[in-house]
Amino acid sequence: MTEQPATVWQWAHFHELTPDDLYDIVALRTAIFIVEQNCPYQDSDGADRVSHHLWTRGANGEIAAYLRVVPPGIKYVEPSLGRIATAASVRGTGLGRALVREGIARAERLYGPVPIRIGAQRYLLRFYEQLGFVSTGYEYDEDDIPHTEMVRPAGR
């Protein structure tokens, strides 16, 4: 069995992103949230400029997994994880789970042991529950995709 190389995470506030990194992040988000999900929506929502961004690249140099950590008071009262995305080529490998765990750890380093809120696509509810998130019961439709608001309690 071949041992997988350790994941190298990149982490930067928006103003620290290189033009190439920003371009690649937007390309992945567009490929998944707009093209793959056939959902025309405004991806540039203003939250990127105040957020920290977490990503890793695959063997081909393209971004394989990405999320942003949005500060408290922007999307929700709590800090939040958003735009969580894994390239189709790495789905089912555990990289998405590692991404969210790393995102939680980075958010806790920034904001301490506070609750973290997400707006999860409903079909991913079980995935996020396995990572400690609990549904608030608030369900909504965003861009014709069913979502559920979830919170990961502080220190969980």
Q: pLDDT of 2-49, one tens digit each?
A: 445 689 999 999 999 999 999 999 999 999 988 888 888 878 889 999
Tell me which of 95 and 38 has the higher pLDDT: 95
pLDDT of residue 41: 80
Instruction: pLDDT band for 83, please (50, 70, 90 cuts).
Output: very high
pLDDT recorded at residue 2: 44
> Could you identify the residue written with the tokens 């988000």?
29
Domain limits, the chain: 10-114
- pTM of the predicted model, to two decimals? 0.92
User: Is it the case that residue 67 has pLDDT exceeding 60?
Assistant: yes
Superfamily of structural domain 10-114: Gcn5-related N-acetyltransferase (GNAT) (3.40.630.30)
Contacts of 63 (CB under 8 A, 6+ apart): 24, 25, 27, 28, 55, 56, 57, 87
| Tokens encoding 125 | 């509810």
Determine the residue type at 7: T
As a whole number of Å, the CA-based R_g of the chain is: 15
Bin 7: left if φ > 0, else alpha if -120 < ψ < 50, else beta. beta
44, 92 contact by CB (below 8 A): no
- Looking at residue 116, its pLDDT comes to 98
